[in-house]
Structure 1
Amino acid sequence: MSLQTIPRVERALRLTRWGMAWERAARAFWPLLTLLAVGFAALALGGVAALPGAALPWLAGLWLIAVVIAAGRGGWKFRRVRSYEALERLDRTLPGRPLTALRDRAAIGGEGALWQAHLAQMQQAARAARAVRPDADLARRDPYALRLAALVALVMALIFGGAGQMGQGVRAIAATMTAPGDDAGIPSGPAWEGWAEPPAYTRRPTIYLNATAEGEVLELPKGTEVSFRLYGGGIEVVQDIGPASGEDQTAPVFRAERTGAIEVGNRRFDVAVLPDAVPVIRAGAAPVRRADGRMIQDFSAADDHGVSEASAVIALDLPKIDRRFGLAAEPEPRDPITLALPLPRGGRQDVQGQLVEDLSRHPWANLPVRLTLEAVDGIEQVGQSDPMSVNLPGRRFFDPLAAALIEMRRDLLWSRENAGRSAEILRAVTWQPEGFVEGDLYAQLRGAVGLLEGDDFTPEARDRLAEALWEAAVQLEDGGLQDALERMRQAQERLSEAIRNGASPDEIQRLMDELREATDAYTQMLAEQSEGQDRTDSPDRGQQGQQITGGQIQEMMDEIQRLMNEGRMAEAEALLEQFNRMMENLQVQQGQGEGQEGGQGSQPMNRLADTLREQQRLSDEAFRDMQRQFGQGQQGQGQQGQGEGQQGGGQDGQSLADRQRALREELGQQQGLMPGQGSPEGDAARRQLDEAGRAMEDAEQALRDGDTGQALQRQADAIQSMREGMRALGDMMAQQGQQGQEGQQAGEGQQPGNQPGESAPGGQSQQPYQGRPVLDPLGRESGGGGNVVTSGDPLAEGRDPAQRARDLLDEIRRRSGQQDRPEDERDYLGRLLDRF
């Protein structure tokens, strides 16, 4: 029977054979391995280099002879392990020697049952075979444990030794084998070494001169430090590239200042010194003023090795100042303004950045100044831009009293000689303050009069008064008015003033937002005042003027916003004046019989209007962001739109995409609070708002992907869907109000059969809201509902709106054909014709 058929036996035989091979190898070659370990440890630990030169060759020779003898002896004693030897050793470890029994053959009765039983018993015993552990018996053969000492030395060499020590040992052995008289012809090392270290600001690596190719021209930046180390006598360095800076003759050091050559020993280095160029810095367009008064200035700088620092220097441009009124006196001396320009941390060879600084409180704010940019490189070379004559951007005040206080503050900071004049102005401002100046502010201003007329008007007192005047002006400009109507009028006047004065788009947008907020507050106040009033006390209310809804007011303000965005400031100002006259006479009406649902529906409508307004504002900011990306400015604003501060960067540090997500979540919350669930109009409103939510989600993703064009398209879809939803919600609220009116009319004996839109007796068509079609201020028919704003202004009345549109289009065609008009105007009229 073959033993290979028993897996356990076959594996035990293989391992036992390998163990026996290791035993024989260890017994034969342990002296050789011990000698090799000792030799390696002596080299790695520096023992060879420490031996005397006379004894080293003898010891090396003896070691080599011992290695050869040990190798020969090991090869002679080593014998290969045979299979039967491994079988014999393994069989001796088993009771009854089953492996030998399994290899036997029966002479008689080999097929009998007894023999088969015997084989089965041996197979069972063979399955208990285990590999025999090897035993080289080295302790008996090496009674002094020399092998262990060599092993410890080897481990220590691996841990603490080094390649350098081994090299020294090999060189020491090689030196002993050199023939006598040949030492003088073999150099022990270089006779000299040299390095060229460029200045740190260049960020160039150090050059090892010994490794440079023969005849290679060294290109070194100006100011490079060249140093040498001379190891042999009779060697000197001759150079003409710059002055020496060291006194040690064996280690000369000098700085590369000009092109020349260096000679050392038998080497010559041609050196080309690269001059360090003066940094170049340029200013972008004229500084831009943000709505909050901050100055934004674009700049670009470049240097061959990088700009180390840059600054903006602002000096008063006295010859260009209109020296009248408070500026007629000689100004008190002030140092120029120096502002550090922001620079990146990395490479500064080519820098483009933007300076944002708030200089609204500086005495030179809104005055002519000269702006100069400076850049400094690593060796203190200064580059300057061409001086730019501009008005220093600062905050603008549109409230008359606030503007007067700011002008007075400027005059006092200009020169303390204006104290008397400023006191007279303050007396005039505070004369008869009732209804004009608040009590606390009046007390502060009267105290300032005493300070200005006193004898101790020191620079410190002047600065404290200037700070108080600034705070008072800011409070007047930004502080809320108790009367909502007055606040709305103030916002309208400031917006009109800003349009007439050519304010920046950022300032106009801020004032437009203030007007929206003030208008919302005023209409909300009127709505609250009208609650609970009996409409039967004034039966003619609403018949004296055109009725418009809060949504129509929003559309009119959106039209003003669109005209301003397109640069049509004259038309925007005219429409704003009409809006002002309309708001002077508006009334907020609630339909007769308006029940609980109508009251509940007004709040969701207002919240939807706020969300729509925020979405429109976000879309405008995304559009301006796309304009900045493609370097476009707004029509009619010249280059003023370029470099505008990124208002759309998101409030509280949010990006446009984050704000879009917040609007989408707000819209989702509003959908859950909408009334009219189950009605056709309510379901239609919900469907439209669902579509608006999906469009907002797509716009958010597009903004995150940087696809501003797709984002604008989806934002426009969201705005359209929200308007449709609000229209459906308004129709539902109007229908509920009409049903309440019909019930009341039926109780008073009127004909209940007339439905809205049917002809009433007398041939009049009963239209919603007092029998007249609901038109917005632009003459367009619109569905009403909810709170209604009634105005006596005839803006929405007049001839057919379609005829007015045709006349306007004919006028555009006529003007576009007049060749004597400016080219910019004709291009603009051509774009209008292409659009409409």
Structure 2
Amino acid sequence: MLARAVQRARGSLLWERLWPALAALATALGLFLAMSWAGLWLALPPLGRVIGLVVFVAVFVVAAIPILRLRVPSDREGLRRLDAGSGAMHRPATSIADEISANRNDPVAQALWQAHIERALLAANKLKAGWPQPKLSLRDPMALRALVVLLVAATFISAGSERWKRVTAAFDWKGVVAPANFRIDAWVTPPNYTGRPPVMLPGVRPGETTTVDLSGAPISVPAGSQLVVRSTGKVSFDIERAGGIEDVPLDPKTALPAGTEERRFVIKTDGKVTLRGAASTDPVWSFAAIPDRAPTVELIKDPERQARGALRLDYKMEDDYGIVEGKAIFALKQDKSATAGKSVADSKRRPLFDAPQFPLTLPQARTRSGAAQTTQDLTENPWAGSTVTVTLTVRDEGGNVGESQPRELTLPQRIFVKPLARALVEQRRILALDANEKPLVLTALDALAIAPERFTPEAGVYLGLRSIFFDLRNAKTDDSLRDVVARLWQMALQIEDGNVSQAEQALRQAQDALREALERGASDEELKKLMDNLRAAMDKFLQALAEEMRKNPQAQQRPLDRNTQMLSQRDLKSMLDRMEQMARQGNRDAAKQLLDQLQQMMENLQMARPGADQDQGDQDMNSALDELSDMIRKQQQLRDKTFKEGQDQRRQQRGQRGQQGNQQMGDLKQDQQALKDRLNKLLEQLRQRGMGQQQGEKGQGQKGEGQQGEGQEQGDQDGMGQLGDAGEAMGEAEGSLGDGNADGAVDSQGRALEAMRKGAQGLAQQMQQGQGQAGPGPNGQPGRGRQRAEQNTDPLGRPLRGRDYGDDTTVKVPGEIDAQRARRILEELRKRFGEGFRPQLELDYIERLLKDF
């Protein structure tokens, strides 16, 4: 009981000592807050803030002295507090705590001590510690503490949302204390292939309050960009990352300046980076990664076969940053049975050559969006003539690959007129696509050597066939079989063309070598050497072509098509000189375009072939179509005149004007009769050429053509039938004009026009199907209809419109003056872009102009 009373007494004494010290410290703190919230620090200069803060620190130290001197009351002080608080005499609390000091063995002393204790215990219930009495009024007689409380409450309300800002302003000593010499910079570097500029981020500077608004939108950067954080000076910081942001180890070979630290990160997906420890407020950078889309490519029209057998692909491509490579990949078309399961023969097929593939021409070095075309000669490839599927693939610099939908086609093959050459090429393709067909090819080659005095009169050809036969029979490896395939092709070319094929092959090799050098940026010396090789190959080709023309004099006598463009040696020399000049001036893209144009011109070059009679028939058909086009035009003019005359008749009254109208009707009748006679004469000429006859009247040789022959016959009969209907309508119009019935004549003339247009369309389709698109003519050469279709002209020889590359079929290559002017403009734009005094709006515009260069 005494111990508990002592503890209460000691607690009262401790509070009486502690509370005045706490009140003094709280008063000093309240005064500091009140002055801060009142705006004292905002009004003072930096030096005044330092002095004021020193004063308040002194006040805090003085107020804290009582706390520092505070000691805990002892038990004896607690007993004294109990004695004073109980109001009893003779110190009862102290008496209870007393102990006998002597005569412990004296019974009389012990009895007296025991009586003393019992009497003290009787007074213990009256022991009281009393409530603590700090007596602050004695220490603060003017109640300044209450004034400080009022000031704190008033300034707290008046400061509002700036409370923390006004308090921290006391520690803003800019201009008084020199900041530490350090800085932290951060920026994002996008991948080089994107062509985007670096993005600068808010960094950290000494004495600056760095804040980044996290509620705003994240910074959009391309995926794969690098975040670089570089510090200079003595500063310690840490970087926290979240999301798809990964560390990038620094290259040990990278030399950094002394006192510089650098950290790198790669931004793969959305993420966030926090910089800690370098500033009062930790900056946070949020990123939204823009993924690199795969490029797209697609054919914009069906693959076309050019006049000389080259394959032309027209396509368009698109990518977000730019395409750097494109290829056309071919694969052998699978049979329908392959879907259910390959047969045993298909599973054992062993081709000797891989499927062909070739690079695609890009509209420019780094194509983002555009259309282009590639012409590639695959007639020498062993796969020529096979049914394949073509898939276009493109790749951007980021490694993304895009593919087009597979398109089925038959690879163009060279058309051989001579039967022996055609047979050798067929056996070549069979052996190249399946080495297991070697016995079949051996049998065919042996059969081709039967009766050489009748079928193979040339001794060199016969010996060559036998040599190939024995080489094939003795071939044991795939390399030996490939040599036989190459010899079959060379033999077929020698039989068909003689020296022209070798010169043509050398020319194509020279063109391919020059194109490859332009693409990889070869030196001027190498380009000059390749240009000399191209000139020499061109001269040999033209000489071989002239020799072939001399062997076929009939080809020189036939008339030329009015749409034919003449190409002289001077024109070729001028193009080659211009190409070399462009390459030397650095305009290699234009030089490559001019080389493509030259190759296309050589592909479309008309060569002398044994099928001169067929070409003459094409010329006659073209003349008939031209004449029919002229009649359609004149019939339209005659109909317009008739309609106008009918209007005049209705407006004018009868009389003298009626007599003039009858005379005008007579003139129109004569013109209509002349057109009808001209049409009848044209129909007779077409019938003499075999047009309009039944299939059986054309000979038994066409019975095996199937649907192609039926389609040709149907188009033939439709064209001739429509022209016959046109003649009947002209006769009706002639009768109506004789009767003075202008309205009836206009209706009949309209029917005649419609019938002639349909007849011309039917004849043109018959010419294209029978002599062009459906295959070669009787002598194996493509007809004029096919040539016109490939030259982008309609059956009447007029240029087609609506192409993706322009309004005509030509490719304009910039000349020397255009190239120099473009170079000067680019130099001036770069000069102005480097002048920092220009307005930012003008600099942004110039940057957009230079973006693709």
Does TM, normalized by the shorter one, top 0.5?
A: no
Higher relative contact order (CA 8 A, sep 6+): 1
Place the TM-score, normalised by the shorter chain, in its bin. Answer: 0.3 to 0.5
Greater Cα radius of gyration, structure 1 or 2: 2
